[in-house]
Chains A and B, each alone.
Chain A
Amino acid sequence: MTGVQDIISTSKSAAAIDKARAEGRAALIGYLPAGYPDVEQTIAAGIALAENGADLIEIGIPYSDPVMDGVVIQAATTEALAKGFHVRQVFDVVRGITSKTDAAVLVMTYWNPVIRMGVDEFSRLLAEAGGAGLITPDLIPDEAAEWMAASDKYGLDRVFLVAPSSSPERMKRTVDASRGFVYAVSIMGVTGARESVSSAAQGVVAAAHAAGAERVCVGLGVSNAGQVREIAAYADGVIVGTALVAAIRDGGVEAVAALTKDLSAGLTREEA
């Protein structure tokens, strides 16, 4: 726990989650892929997320080989790339949202685009745009030396994932390496709405808390207020992705706003 106080004071993600906690509820984290259907609408949808109850916003960088994503997000990011999305535009999206809202904005990215730009340069530009940090689905702490250094240098959160399959040793290592919060993968699988949230999720959250994590948020498969309520009972935050992507696909920014409002109704713990 040494040094945690210093970190908390600089972590935008932690501040956003703590604010929700102070209000007696879990935080809502909404995911949108940058550039889908275009950069302007991603920004507008991000603002709509923040205005309708999302505490943190996760902006995904479309990538050619998204191995952790299911069909809905794959289709969206493939379309964004086909329309000519460039990685640097993610900073426009982040700036566009942070300049209009108080939400903490993280970027979710597979690691190769960051390597290509240069980990330090990417981090510098993200910090300049007002970004909170990175969620890294295919980067584990074992390979993250460069990112650890750059995130310290620019005061960015580093959100690593833990899974139902994580051993106690790996859980500890990942929790120790993370800053802001730890992303608990609810199930063994890829992104996509599911009818029920795996019972494994609660166990992963408990294990992460036991390993010393102060903030653990649950993602993968969460798509409605009922599921949000279920998870909010034991996690510090709830992450919704695919359902929001489907909303912007089918109903644009308005549909994102409506779904966010609906989802946020599930955040308050029945027994706070």
Chain B
Amino acid sequence: MVRPMVDAPTTGSDEGTADAFLEGDRSLRHAPGPYFGSYGGRWMPESLIAALDELEDTFEKAKADPDFVAQIADLNKNYSGRPSLLTEAKRFAEHAGGVRIFLKREDLNHTGSHKINNVLGQALLAKRMGKTRVIAETGAGQHGVASATAAALLGLECVVYMGAEDCRRQALNVARMELLGATVIPVTSGSQTLKDAINEALRDWVANVGHTHYLLGTAAGAHPFPAMVRYFHEVIGEEARAQILDQAGRLPDAVCACIGGGSNAIGIFHGFLDDPSVRIFGFEAGGDGVDTGRHAATITLGKPGVLHGARSYLMQDDDGQTIESHSISAGLDYPGVGPEHSYLADIGRVTYEPITDSEAMDAFRLLCRTEGIIPAIESAHALAGGIKVGQRLAAEAGSAGEAASGKIVIVNLSGRGDKDVATAAEWFDLLDKDSVEAEIGKEGEQL
């Protein structure tokens, strides 16, 4: 079915100033915070405000310091392996209505995902602030591993908070972090999930803020985190824009990314927000389906509220208690979302849609079989969304008497799927029922 491409925001909120964008009188790319429309801000204990001020000041000065900018550029090139490739996925695209699909290959970065961009930047800021210790939260372990990596590289002590249940399910990632010299602390409070790991990291930060930087892993939290994390990921969108102009000779028709907290998405969106011809899509984790109550489709079904320092869409009950999210993808399994995404949803610049576990896993297998690339399950949500967008664009082209192959979609392949092999093997029933891997996969599937 053909759907209108620029949907009205599904949120029904009265926020936002769409006119400002539509009239083109200001840039959406350089929103500095602390507010994005009515979202963002600092809903934080006073005890932490001084640290946030210090971080903001350090960040602003660093951005203006050519030495810092050069340091980041050097690490990106010579440590992370940037620029990441832009790969045309021709066989995969045959299943997306015949449009052209290009993959932004963040999976090829050191540590296997976009996460490295942010942790290197923040770890450098920690050093500039004279802090000797970084703490981080992690769900499945990807941000924890990236943080431990940056800490090892820069000689910082690293403590990672991780839900006790996640520690058990992701024993290999715990071992990875420990190999890199980090201490992993299992979190047994609350629901023992990612949001509780963030709570515990915040408690640590309050008590140790003098020498500790909280290396938050996504574009959420109190100002300056959303704007700062975006800044470190902007390289994704800037590279992708230059690469598509080079390879295809024009801007894409659509850009797709998956959204948990939304850091990879805001990174690639940044490159295209001021290009009105480029339609932008964020795909949330629909879990078992948005009508089942077991999902992480925060923007699709949440309501504005405050959690972990920012006002944004939030999965919450009638009492304002946070609702636990569910997704096969641990990286998207978060009941909040970065405030800039809430704003972009309200003004209609970005369209946010849910992708179910099974849609994501179908796209996961398709990419494996057609392109020889095993994606992260998070990124598979963007791939599934890319297929839908491609089919809609193809239908649009058809009714205009044009060829689908004239349409271009970029999908941000935010990470690689090595970490997800057990979960995927269980999902596709590839394992001997009695194997250890089957047991791990079964647990992973419940993430």
Q: Which residues of A contact B (CB under 8 A)?
A: 63-68, 70-71, 74, 78, 81, 86-87, 111-117, 137-140, 142-143, 160-167, 170, 174, 185, 188-190
Contact = CB atoms under 8 A, between A and B. Distances in A.
Given A65-B307, A66-B199, A115-B306, A162 B46 contact: yes
A165 B51 contact: yes
Nearest to A137: B45
B202 interface: yes
B314 A143 contact: no
A237 B203 CA distance: 25
Contact of B320 (A116, A160, A161): A116
B32 interface: no
A164 B210 CA distance: 11
A34 to B, nearest CB: 12
B245 interface: no
Interface in B293-312: 303-308
Interface of B: 41-51, 53, 189-191, 195-196, 199, 202-203, 206-210, 303-308, 314, 316, 318-322
A112 B306 contact: yes
A229 B207 CA distance: 25
A139 B47 contact: no
Given A65-B322, A165-B51, A138 B314 contact: no
Nearest to B306: A112
Contacts of B318: 116
A74 B196 CA distance: 11
A113 B321 CA distance: 7
A63 B195 CA distance: 13
Query: A-side binding surface: helix, strand, loop or mixed?
Result: loop
Contact of B316 (A70, A116, A139): A116
Contacts of A81: 321
Contacts of B189: 71, 74, 78
A142 B42 contact: yes
A139 B44 CA distance: 6
A138 B190 contact: no
Contacts of A115: 304-306, 320
Of the candidates A65, A78, A114, A117, the one having the most CB atoms from chain B within 10 angstroms of its own CB is A65
Contacts of A66: 199
Contacts of A137: 45
A165 to B, nearest CB: 4
17 contacts: A64-B322, A65-B195, A65-B322, A68-B203, A78-B189, A87-B319, A111-B43, A112-B305, A112-B316, A115-B304, A116-B305, A116-B319, A116-B320, A142-B42, A165-B50, A170-B50, A188-B206
A164 to B, nearest CB: 8
Nearest to B203: A190
A27 B321 CA distance: 32
B190 A74 contact: yes
Contacts of A138: 43-45, 306
A189 B203 CA distance: 7
A110 to B, nearest CB: 8
A162 B320 CA distance: 25
A89 B207 CA distance: 32
A190 B46 contact: no
A113 B199 contact: no
A68 B321 CA distance: 16
Contacts of B319: 86-87, 113, 116-117
A117 B307 contact: no
A58 B254 CA distance: 53
A67 B200 CA distance: 7
Contact of B46 (A67, A70, A74, A160): A160
Given A113-B320, A114-B320, A166-B50, A65 B308 contact: yes
Nearest to A89: B319
A88 to B, nearest CB: 8
Nearest to B196: A65
B45 A67 contact: yes
A117 B305 CA distance: 11
A29 B338 CA distance: 38
B348 to A, nearest CB: 24
B320 A188 contact: no
A189 B206 CA distance: 5
Contacts of A86: 319
A188 B195 contact: no
A143 B207 contact: no
A174 B45 CA distance: 12
Nearest to B309: A138
A65 B199 contact: yes
Of the candidates B46, B195, B209, the one having the most CB atoms from chain A within 10 angstroms of its own CB is B46
Nearest to B318: A116
A64 B191 CA distance: 9
A190 B206 contact: yes
B317 to A, nearest CB: 8
Contacts of B303: 116
A67 B43 contact: no
B47 to A, nearest CB: 4
Contacts of B208: 188
A138 B311 CA distance: 12
Nearest to A169: B53
B344 to A, nearest CB: 21
Nearest to B303: A116
A230 B369 CA distance: 71
